[in-house]
Each structure stands twice: as structure tokens, then as C-alpha cells.
Amino acid sequence: MEANTVGKLIKLLSEYPKDMIITNQANQPFIHIINRQGEALTLSTEKPIGYCRKCGDYAYEELNRELDYPGQCPTCDENLYNFEINSLENGSK
């Protein structure tokens, strides 16, 4: 499947009212936009809980409650303990 680009999105979005909410397929609103330094623009339905201490990218809440980890890093593809997560407030990305 061909990836969407910013250009395609701008063209598509120009046809919609500016205050219309954008959701994913499960009707969850995209609440966080991540600029990946010119590599990609990522829309997320989850708010990050901090920064991963290993790679510096955003860490998110681990939604699988059966695991004993509070966080996870999509970039490292690993679950994270609290001590592996820097807070957002410190800006220590």
C-alpha cells in the first residue's frame, strides 16, 4: 500500500471544515503530532508519558495491563520501567 504524504493530506484536508476532528479507524481522535525531524510526520491517538532514556524518543503508556511495565517505546520496540522514562516537564529528550 502506498504511504500517504503531507501533500496528499493537505489536498484531502482542504475539502473538510477546519474544525472537524480527525480520528483513526477506531474513532479515537489524534491528539498528538510528532515531527520526526524531517523524516516523517506522525499522528498519534495517545499522549506521550515521557521520553525514553535509551533513544530519547517519546514513551507511551503500556496498554497491556498483564505486563508489569508502565511504559513502552515504539522506537526501541521495548517496554519501559519508570526509571527508564524521563519526564516531559524536564524536556530532557
Contact residues: Zn ion, CB under 5 A: 52, 54-55, 73, 75-76
Residue 59's nearest CA partner among 41, 40, 84 is 84
Instruction: Give the residue with the Cβ less far from Zn ion, 45 or 54.
Output: 54
Distance of closest approach, residue 38 Cβ to Zn ion, in angstroms: 19
Q: At closest approach, how far in Å is the CB of 41 from Zn ion?
A: 19
Return the number of other C-beta atoms located less than 10 Å from residue 52's C-beta.
Answer: 23
CB of 88 to Zn ion, least distance (A): 15
- Asked whether 80 and 73 are in contact (CB, 8 A), the reply is yes
